[in-house]
Amino acid sequence: MGASGGLDNVQGKTLYRLMSMACGSAFMLYGWDAGVLGGIQATPQFLNAIGNPTGSETIPIIAAIYNLAAGIMALCVSSFGMKIGRKGTILLGCLLICIGALLQASTFSLAQIFVGRVVTGSGIGCIAAAVPTYMVSYSASIKTRKLQQHGFANSKSVITLMSTLALFQPSPAYSRISC
């Protein structure tokens, strides 16, 4: 029996379903982390724990640094991702997320929460860069790949439509003009 505890012989649709659940939960972490921080960052207990920071930019920077670190790491994965592989990149991301979560949960200063957010964001960047290609490589069949490509095309169409509608919304000033 291998190091994965009996999952060495899992194949086909079962493997694909297991991978889908694992990868879906990995992406769910991204939104969950942002949502949890958004709920606690204005509480007196949290502000006391990080030393009651002053300045209107401090709290938004705590939230934004996570996304910045994720974006930068997602770009950096291209430089080391081929060397350690997709699985290695995902495992590195999970390790970084665990370390960052520990840093954030045990925070006692502004610097520690910043470091925790950067480390966690870097882990999310690894996962965001490696998981989609890992999932595609384990697709059950050509039919599944075609469905994924079709889904991507539909997603792209919806995004284009939504951005077009957002760009061409009439201004409130135009609604006051009568013809």
Residue 167, domain member (yes or no): no
Distance CA 10, CA 21 (A): 14
Say how many domains are in the chain. 1
**Alpha-carbon span 159 to 81, nearest angstrom:** 28
pLDDT-derived band of residue 33, with 50, 70 and 90 as boundaries? confident
Give the percent of the chain with pLDDT over 70.
68
- Domain region containing 21: 13-141
Residue 41 in domain: yes
Q: What is the pLDDT of residues 133-151, one digit of tens each?
A: 777 776 655 555 555 555 5
Domain membership of residue 103 (yes or no) is yes
Inside any domain, residue 111: yes
Q: Would you say residue 169 lies in a domain?
A: no
Torsion (CA) 12, 17, 20, 25 in degrees, nearest 10: -140
List Cβ<8 Å contacts ≥24 apart for 15-19: 15/138, 16/138, 16/139, 16/140, 16/144, 19/134, 19/135, 19/138
- Least confident segment among 9-13, 117-121, 152-156: 152-156
- Residue 21 belongs to some domain of the structure: yes
pLDDT at 73 over 90: yes
pLDDT single digits (tens) 81-117: 889 988 888 889 989 988 998 998 888 888 999 999 9
Residue 126 and residue 81: Cα distance in Å, rounded? 9
Residue with the bigger pLDDT between 47 and 72: it is 72
Tell me if 38 is assigned to some domain: yes
Measured distance CA(64)–CA(86) in Å, rounded: 27
Q: What is the pTM of this model?
A: 0.67
How wide is the angle at C-alpha 149 spanned by C-alphas 145 and 150, nearest 5°? Answer: 115
- Lowest mean pLDDT of 31-40, 61-70, 94-103, 147-156, name the range: 147-156
Residue 100 included in any domain: yes
